[in-house]
Chains A and B, each alone.
Chain A
C-alpha cells in the first residue's frame, strides 16, 4: 500500500463552492431529509411533490425519486422503520446527502457539461446521472437549481464543477 494523501486535495469546508461571473454554487444544510418508500409513497407527504422541472418555491418539499419513493426535505420528524399502518418504510437521511444550490443565468450551461437535463423534457423523477454520478436535480426559480449527491460524493461534485468553470468558465 502506498500513501496517496498528496494525490487528493483535502476536502473543502467552505459552503461557498464557487462564485464566478454571476454563477454561484453554495452548499446548504437542510433541516431534515427523510426517505419514504411504499406503494403510496408519492401520496404520503403533505409537502409539494417535485418532479422535473417542477419549481421548488419553499424550504419544504418532497422530491420524487422513484415510482414508490420520495425524499422529504424539511418535512416533519418521522419515526424511522416500517410503518405497518401506512405501509411506509421510513429512514432518516439528513446527513446522507450533500445539497448544493446553483444560481445564475449560466447554470444551465454548466449543467450541460454534466449531462442532459432540459427543462423541456419533463420527468416524474428528479434522479439522473450528471457529472458521472447519481444526483437529484430540481429547479428553484427561473435560473436556480438544487443538486444533491450522496455525502461521500460531495467533494467529487465540487471539484467537477470547479474543473469545468476553471477550464471553460468564460465560454459556458
Chain B
C-alpha cells in the first residue's frame, strides 16, 4: 500500500488516490482541423515509461488534481506539485 502526498492534504494512503493521466498531454484544439493520427495519439498513446514518470493523479477525498513524479520500478515517490497556486 503506497503512501502518496496530496499537495494540499499531505501524506495519505493510496486508497485515497486515483491515477488520472500521464502528464504533459494537451488536448488538440478541436475547433480547427485535427488529423486522425493526432487525435489517436492524444487518446491512446501512452509513454508508460520504466523508471521516473510524470503523471496526473487525483486525491479523491479532496478532489485535487496534481502532478506526481514517481519511479515506476522502485515505486519511490519523487515529488508532488499542485496544478495551481495556493490562493490563500
Chain A residues with a Cβ under 8 A of chain B: 39-40, 42-43, 65-68, 115-116, 121-125, 127-129, 134
Contacts and interface: CB of A to CB of B under 8 A. Distances in A.
A137 to B, nearest CB: 10
Given A39-B87, A127-B9, A67 B15 contact: no
Given A121-B10, A124-B8, A124-B9, A129 B61 contact: yes
B8 A121 contact: no
Given A67-B8, A128-B61, 20 more contacts: A39-B87, A40-B87, A42-B88, A67-B84, A67-B86, A67-B87, A67-B88, A115-B13, A121-B10, A121-B11, A123-B9, A124-B8, A124-B9, A127-B62, A128-B12, A129-B12, A129-B13, A129-B15, A129-B16, A134-B60
A125 to B, nearest CB: 5
B63 interface: yes
User: Which residue, of A67, A68, A124, has the highest number of chain B Cβ atoms within 10 A?
Assistant: A67
Interface of B is mostly: loop
A127 B61 CA distance: 6
18 contacts: A39-B87, A66-B8, A66-B64, A67-B88, A68-B87, A121-B10, A121-B11, A123-B10, A124-B10, A125-B8, A127-B9, A127-B61, A127-B62, A128-B12, A128-B16, A129-B12, A129-B15, A129-B60
Nearest to B62: A66
Contacts of A124: 8-10
Sorting the interface of chain B by its residue count into under 10, 10 to 19, 20 to 34 or 35 or more gives 10 to 19
A127 B63 CA distance: 10
Interface of B: 8-13, 15-16, 60-64, 82, 84, 86-88
List the 3 closest pairs (A to B, CB-CB), nearest first: A39-B87, A127-B61, A66-B62
A122 B11 CA distance: 9
A93 B79 CA distance: 35
Contacts of B62: 65-67, 125, 127
